[in-house]
């Protein structure tokens, strides 16, 4: 009803005097003020300017409000001076300022432009910015973005704009009182750029330094959360962040609420609902300095605070009571802190490495060459007694600390490595190691190996119940970190290696897996197109629940597969294991799959011979990498045109490699009772007996090659009399010396005919009945390149004779799709 009421006068106006309406809709002039009952709407309807009352109060305020059902107030003009009745008015004063007047015409709020001009107007822009313009030249005199309240929207600036102009968000006092509250959000000009929330003037939360890409103190900011902000600096001293993401589906903004929590909110245009995607306060540990100096906070521990290794509570009694503010102090003096005479005997200090850390506040940048390594940072720090800790981060360089270490948090993923200086006696494990080695040298090499092995075992066993901060700097530890992490918390630990996307992120990207974003379906599950908030396009494969693997094994496999990188393989960007869901995130391929071109009456002409040659070679290279050059040996087992995706330049990329592995088929065995593949592309020994090898992929490659050359599907009939498959037809023509008839008419060019015939020959070699007769991929590539001049005559290929009708059907399911897989399960015999 309400919507209709709003709409009617609008439509009416529209019909009458369109040109004037447009001005009136988003603009306030001296002659057209805005009264309490009126609303000003920005041109594309995203934001509106209106009078409103917060909850539990009848006071009236003028604010900019998100113009979707989840009405969020984005900005408040008269936040400290409410109007007590509905007689208020927003207008332009005689001196050209935007002002809010109450019923008695008292000015409650003014834009306060000192050198305002007499002729000006205020306009609400589509960004949610209210600007006051000089009508004579369009110059902007004032804008609401200069004085934000508690909300950061797109294109707003937060930080140091110029020497005397710092822009911060300030919280409301309470949900019913928009006046300036206790908390503010901004950038500390004295530090490496990072966000702070202050409670009055005391820090309450910090984001950790900006590394040019993300804030390293916000672990969730890796991968999907990347690049929400941009840092702008210039020599004039300005240093501010803006966020500039555009997403067609949703508006993303940040609100600092009255309890000092910054939340990232997403509001959907479609149905207007909004949700919190991230908050600054996920646990007590996010409160600045929770554990005091030299204390480290781990939300997964109880109690959450521990002292860093080599430190002990300053006030044991208070500490045990849970009052951690006093922090910790050193157990043993640093060599640096001892006097000169003693120093001569003392052993040098060392560094303990703590991994996955929110690095402490007050980091300084070490003046080193830009190319300095972590090692250089360490050396520099060791040689300077005022350096008590260092960390290295790509994008920032060497950071060091010289006073106390405050606001350290132990993350379970991401974060940085922090190296803290401790006295030599605190480097306990290192000493033990030396002792072990010293004794074993005497006893010989064999014993050395054994004790190292035992020590390692011991460490592995004891690692689980050690607190993180106590983990020693130790090569062994590094080496076996992976396995220990895996056994502890599989879901989180892998984040380091493989980006994990949250279900939320993917739901936003795919519009909650909306049907319109579906690219196709295969045996392993449907594939959706998605757009991340960063604008990056992705393909999300939602795996069906048929895998019986545990999460740990699944993550392991996915991680291994994600390491396979080759320009002819589709890149796996990450995965998501959440809410019973398993999803794989791939790069998005705009040109769909090979079958969409090859078997399309028009598009096939785009694939002229040289392009097809490149595609065949590319597939061969990708396959060679899977078989031979990657760390794992992977047999694809389902090569077919719909699994060959094409990038912008129509370069081929093999997709779905390794999925057979994920789904229970063991790559090291040559026999499986789960046959994954598609009829028409499966080698006979694989389809019949479940025996697979490189050569079964070569068979599929051969079919693919013949299809690319002929532009025909193997699985449809090509010879009316004999009902032959493409392979059978090719064999027949080959023996009749008529192979040229096989070639796609779209390729008719006598100059390349010899070359094409060579490809047909190689294709026939690949599909020979006996796996032993087929060349391997490396040979295939050499043959195609004419490096092997003399090709052996092909022997009888498999499946030459008849084309079973039922089997023919089974192959039709693929269609045009991206990342499509068909899964056929046949019991092995």
Ligand X SMILES: *[C@@H]1O[C@H](CO)[C@@H](O)[C@H](O)[C@H]1NC(C)=O
Residues annotated catalytic, as ranges? 638
Q: For the chain, what is the total number of helices (H) and then of strands (E)? A: 20, 41
Residue 583 in contact with residue 591, Cβ under 8 Å?
Answer: no
Residue 477 in contact with residue 459, Cβ under 8 Å?
Answer: yes
Sole window of 13-21, 383-391, 502-510, 587-595 interacting with ligand X (rule: CB under 6 A): 383-391
Closer CB to ligand X, residue 58 or residue 176? 176
Closer CB to ligand X, residue 289 or residue 620? 289
> Please, which residues have CB within 8 angstroms of residue 155's CB and are 6 or more apart in sequence?
127, 129, 145, 242, 243, 244
According to CB under 6 A, which one of 299, 326, 346, 428 is a site residue for ligand X?
A: 326
**Rounded Cα–Cα distance for residues 444 and 431 (Å):** 20
Buried b (16+ CB within 10 A) or exposed e, 485-505: beeeebebbbbbbbbbbbebb
User: 645 to each of 539, 591, 628, 747, 814, how far by Cα in Å?
Assistant: 12, 7, 22, 21, 13
Terminal alpha carbon distance of the chain = 68
The footprint of ligand X on residues 520-579 (CB under 6 A) is none
According to CB under 6 A, which one of 45, 236, 379, 487 is a site residue for ligand X?
A: 236
User: 745 to each of 160, 518, 708, how far by Cα in Å?
Assistant: 66, 33, 12
Residue 307 in contact with residue 313, Cβ under 8 Å?
Answer: yes
According to CB under 6 A, which one of 302, 339, 375, 772 is a site residue for ligand X?
A: 339
Sole window of 257-265, 461-469, 496-504, 547-555 interacting with ligand X (rule: CB under 6 A): 257-265
- Is residue 127 at the binding interface for ligand X, with CB under 6 A as the rule? no
Residue 542 in contact with residue 581, Cβ under 8 Å?
Answer: yes
- Is residue 6 at the binding interface for ligand X, with CB under 6 A as the rule? no
Sole window of 8-16, 39-47, 384-392, 738-746 interacting with ligand X (rule: CB under 6 A): 384-392
**Rounded Cα–Cα distance for residues 753 and 8 (Å):** 70
- Is residue 201 at the binding interface for ligand X, with CB under 6 A as the rule? no
- Is residue 258 at the binding interface for ligand X, with CB under 6 A as the rule? yes
**Rounded Cα–Cα distance for residues 130 and 121 (Å):** 10
**Rounded Cα–Cα distance for residues 329 and 660 (Å):** 55
**How many residues lie near ligand X (CB under 6 A)?**
32
Residue 711 in contact with residue 599, Cβ under 8 Å?
Answer: yes
- Is residue 325 at the binding interface for ligand X, with CB under 6 A as the rule? yes
- Is residue 323 at the binding interface for ligand X, with CB under 6 A as the rule? yes
The footprint of ligand X on residues 432-451 (CB under 6 A) is none
The footprint of ligand X on residues 340-379 (CB under 6 A) is 341-342
329: β partners: 312
- Is residue 259 at the binding interface for ligand X, with CB under 6 A as the rule? yes
Residue 150 in contact with residue 160, Cβ under 8 Å?
Answer: no
- Is residue 261 at the binding interface for ligand X, with CB under 6 A as the rule? yes
Per-residue x/- track, 27-66, ligand X (CB under 6 A): ----------------------------xx----------
Query: Which residue's C-beta sits nearest to ligand X?
Result: 326
Closer CB to ligand X, residue 136 or residue 735? 136
- Is residue 402 at the binding interface for ligand X, with CB under 6 A as the rule? yes
Output the smallest distance, CB 484 to ligand X, in A.
33
Closer CB to ligand X, residue 110 or residue 380? 380
Closer CB to ligand X, residue 135 or residue 502? 135
According to CB under 6 A, which one of 159, 186, 208, 260 is a site residue for ligand X?
A: 260
A 10 A CB-CB count for 555 gives 23
**Rounded Cα–Cα distance for residues 144 and 654 (Å):** 51
Sole window of 18-26, 255-263, 479-487, 510-518 interacting with ligand X (rule: CB under 6 A): 255-263
Sole window of 243-251, 339-347, 552-560, 599-607 interacting with ligand X (rule: CB under 6 A): 339-347
Of residues 294, 354, 334, 345, the one with CA closest to residue 424:
334
Closer CB to ligand X, residue 345 or residue 736? 345
The footprint of ligand X on residues 806-825 (CB under 6 A) is none
Output the smallest distance, CB 58 to ligand X, in A.
12
Residue 360 in contact with residue 370, Cβ under 8 Å?
Answer: no
- Is residue 233 at the binding interface for ligand X, with CB under 6 A as the rule? no
- Is residue 19 at the binding interface for ligand X, with CB under 6 A as the rule? no
Output the smallest distance, CB 130 to ligand X, in A.
19
Q: What are phi and psi of 636, to 5 degrees?
A: -70, -50
Closer CB to ligand X, residue 202 or residue 579? 202
Alpha helices, H only, 576-683: 594-598, 609-624, 659-662
> What does the binding site for ligand X look like in residue numbers (CB under 6 A)?
55-56, 119, 135-136, 175-176, 182, 199-200, 234, 236, 257-261, 263, 276, 279, 315, 318, 323, 325-326, 339, 341-342, 384, 386-387, 402
């Amino acid at each position: 009803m309400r919507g209709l009421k709003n709409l009617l006068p609008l439509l009416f106006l529209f019909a009458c005097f369109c040109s004037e309406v447009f001005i009136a809709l988003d603009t306030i002039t001296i002659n057209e003020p805005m009264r309490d009952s009126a609303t000003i709407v920005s041109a594309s309807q995203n934001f509106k300017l209106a009078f409103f009352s917060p909850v539990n109060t009848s006071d009236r305020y003028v604010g900019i409000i998100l113009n979707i059902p989840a009405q969020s107030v984005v900005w408040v003009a008269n936040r400290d001076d409410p109007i007590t009745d509905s007689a208020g008015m927003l207008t332009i004063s005689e001196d050209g300022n935007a002002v809010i007047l109450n019923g008695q015409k008292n000015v409650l709020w003014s834009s306060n432009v000192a050198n305002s001009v007499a002729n000006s107007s205020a306009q609400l822009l589509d960004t949610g910015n209210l600007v006051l313009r000089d009508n004579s030249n369009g110059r902007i005199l004032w804008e609401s973005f200069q004085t934000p309240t508690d909300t950061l929207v797109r294109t707003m600036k937060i930080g140091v704009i110029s020497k005397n102009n710092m822009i911060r968000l300030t919280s409301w006092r309470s949900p019913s009182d928009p006046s300036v509250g206790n908390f503010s959000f901004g950038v500390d000009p004295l530090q490496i750029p990072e966000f702070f929330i202050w409670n009055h003037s005391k820090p309450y939360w910090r984001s950790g330094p900006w590394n040019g890409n993300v804030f390293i103190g916000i672990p969730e900011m890796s991968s999907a959360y990347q690049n929400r902000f941009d840092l702008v600096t210039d020599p004039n001293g300005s240093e501010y962040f803006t966020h500039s993401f555009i997403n067609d589906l949703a508006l993303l903004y940040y609100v600092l609420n009255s309890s000092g929590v910054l939340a990232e909110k997403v509001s959907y245009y479609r149905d207007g609902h909004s949700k919190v995607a991230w908050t600054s306060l996920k646990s007590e540990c996010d409160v600045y300095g929770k554990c005091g100096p030299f204390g480290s906070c781990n939300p997964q521990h109880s109690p959450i605070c521990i002292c860093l290794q080599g430190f002990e509570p300053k006030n044991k009694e208070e500490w045990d009571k849970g009052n951690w503010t006093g922090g910790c102090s050193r157990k043993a003096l640093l060599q640096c802190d001892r006097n000169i005479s003693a120093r001569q005997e003392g052993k040098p200090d060392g560094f303990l490495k703590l991994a996955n850390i929110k690095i402490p506040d007050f980091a300084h940048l070490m003046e080193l060459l830009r190319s300095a390594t972590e090692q250089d940072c360490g050396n520099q720090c060791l040689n300077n007694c005022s350096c008590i800790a260092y960390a290295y981060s790509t994008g920032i360089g060497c950071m060091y600390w010289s006073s106390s270490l405050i606001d350290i948090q132990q993350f379970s993923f991401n974060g940085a490595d922090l190296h803290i200086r401790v006295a030599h006696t605190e480097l306990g494990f290192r000493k033990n190691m030396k002792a072990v080695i010293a004794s074993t040298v005497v006893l010989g090499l064999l014993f050395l190996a054994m004790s190292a092995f035992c020590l390692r075992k011991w460490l592995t066993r004891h690692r689980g119940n050690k607190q993180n901060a106590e983990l020693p700097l130790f090569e062994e530890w590094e080496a076996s970190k992976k396995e220990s992490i895996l056994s502890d918390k599989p879901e989180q630990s892998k984040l380091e290696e493989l980006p994990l996307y949250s279900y939320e992120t993917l739901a936003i990207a795919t519009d909650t897996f909306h049907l319109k974003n579906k690219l196709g379906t295969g045996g392993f599950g449907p594939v959706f197109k998605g757009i991340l908030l960063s604008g990056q396009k992705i393909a999300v494969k939602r795996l069906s629940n048929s895998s019986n693997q545990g999460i740990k094994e699944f993550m392991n496999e996915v991680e291994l597969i994600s390491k396979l990188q080759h320009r002819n393989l589709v890149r796996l960007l990450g995965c998501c294991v959440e809410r019973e869901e398993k999803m794989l995130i791939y790069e998005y391929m705009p040109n769909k799959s090979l079958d969409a071109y090859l078997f399309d009456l028009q598009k096939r002409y785009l694939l002229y011979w040289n392009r097809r040659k490149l595609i065949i070679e590319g597939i061969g290279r990708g396959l060679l990498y899977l078989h031979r050059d990657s760390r794992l040996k992977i047999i694809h087992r389902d090569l077919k045109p719909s699994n060959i995706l094409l990038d912008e330049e129509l370069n081929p990329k093999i997709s779905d490699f390794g999925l057979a592995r994920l789904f229970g088929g063991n790559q090291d065995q040559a026999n499986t009772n789960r046959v994954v593949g598609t009829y028409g592309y499966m080698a006979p020994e694989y389809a019949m007996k479940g025996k697979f090898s490189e050569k079964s992929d070569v068979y599929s490659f051969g079919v693919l090659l013949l299809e690319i050359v002929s532009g025909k599907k193997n699985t449809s009939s090509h010879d009316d009399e004999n009902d032959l498959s493409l392979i059978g037809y090719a064999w027949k023509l080959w023996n009749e010396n008529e192979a040229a008839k096989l070639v796609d008419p779209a390729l008719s060019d006598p100059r390349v005919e010899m070359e094409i015939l060579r490809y047909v020959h190689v294709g026939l070699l690949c599909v020979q009945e006996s796996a032993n007769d087929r060349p391997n991929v490396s040979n295939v590539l050499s043959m195609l390149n004419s490096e092997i001049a003399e090709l052996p005559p092909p022997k009888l290929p498999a499946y030459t004779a008849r084309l079973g009708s039922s089997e023919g059907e089974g192959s039709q399911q693929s269609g045009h799709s991206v990342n499509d897989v068909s899964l056929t399960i046949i019991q092995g015999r």
